[in-house]
Amino acid sequence: MPEQIQLLIALLLTVGPPVLICIVIPGSPLMALFIGLLLAVKIQWQGMKNVIQKATLVAIRDLSPQLKLVRVSGVISQIREPVDPQDPTLAMLKVQINGWKSTGGGSEHGGIWGKTKASPILIDDGSGSIWIDPRPIDSRQLGEGKQVDYEQIRQPCQILGVDVDKVTYGASGLRCLMWEWRVGQKVTVFRNLQRNNGEWTISRLKRQPMMVSPLEFDKLTEVAETNTSRMQGISWGIIVLLIVVFGCPAVGFCGWVLRTLTTPGKLGGISFSPG
């Protein structure tokens, strides 16, 4: 075997493992973490898109055991457990407060506090009615919240059982968002059917799709398609970035080794010449 090949093998066996460890160990967990999180989000959006596209639009009076995934649209006509005892029309309330908050290393912007409270609701589409339990509420299907000022958010926060001054203490640049469902508002439900005490009901089951939204069908489809495509693009972008960041050093190192071993001279104190 030529001397250069023997030296290359010896060098790779000696230096290769630690170099690969330095490259692979920092890169692999990071790549797996980012890709895993992004793929999980993408799968959720894809699942939402599939539910929207596959659900059968049906009138409440036409519900039957033969139907599986259904889409029902109607107005909220009754609330089983009022979110606010002083306001019997309030079926769902969500508050989200974002802003700058001090940390040990300075300040960071993000969610400061948020909470959602909802009640089972009776949906009426003119042909009949059906009870819906939307809890827990999926924020992806609520649409854009109404931006309100700090004083306007006090009462909603009291309904949700929190002192807004305490949760925002030390924060700045506050942005307060609020979502509401009320009696008379139209919502759309995507869900598998089930019977409860002999009556049809639509509620969340473990590992089963459940969506309740005030958005129109076309808008829901647009939101799901846009976010599915966006997450797919972000996933591929990060994969390419991580390959460049962690792959280029490895390729460069291998190229340097090959150039060094095929160039006459000295390597690690060992003299050699071609041929």
Rounded to a whole number of angstroms, the CA Rg of the chain reads 29
Contact status, residue 134 vs residue 177, Cβ threshold 8 Å: no
For residue 15, pLDDT over 50 is answered with no
Integer CA distances (angstroms), 100 to 7, 12, 150, 168, in order: 58, 51, 15, 10
Lowest-pLDDT choice from 18-27, 35-44, 139-148:
18-27
For residue 179, pLDDT over 80 is answered with yes
For residue 3, pLDDT over 80 is answered with no
Which bin fits 102, alpha (ψ -120 to 50), beta or left (φ > 0)? beta
The mean pLDDT of 235-243, rounded to a whole number, is 64
Question: Domains in the chain, start-ordered, CATH in brackets?
Answer: 3-44+231-272 (no CATH), 56-215 (2.40.50.140)
Integer CA distances (angstroms), 118 to 93, 94, 241, in order: 6, 8, 42
Distance, first Cα to last Cα, the chain: 11
Report field, pTM of the whole predicted structure over 0.75: no
Mean pLDDT over the full length of the chain? 75
Range among 36-45, 171-180, 202-211 rated most confident: 171-180
Task: State how far the Cα of 42 lies from the Cα of 222, in Å rounded to an integer.
Answer: 15
- pLDDT for 101-119, tens place per residue? 877 666 777 888 999 999 9
Where does the pLDDT of residue 78 fall: very low under 50, low under 70, confident under 90, or very high at 90 and above?
Answer: very high
**For residue 212, what are the β-bridge partners?**
189
Exposed/middle/buried for residue 168 (C-beta within 10 Å: 0-12, 13-18, 19+): buried
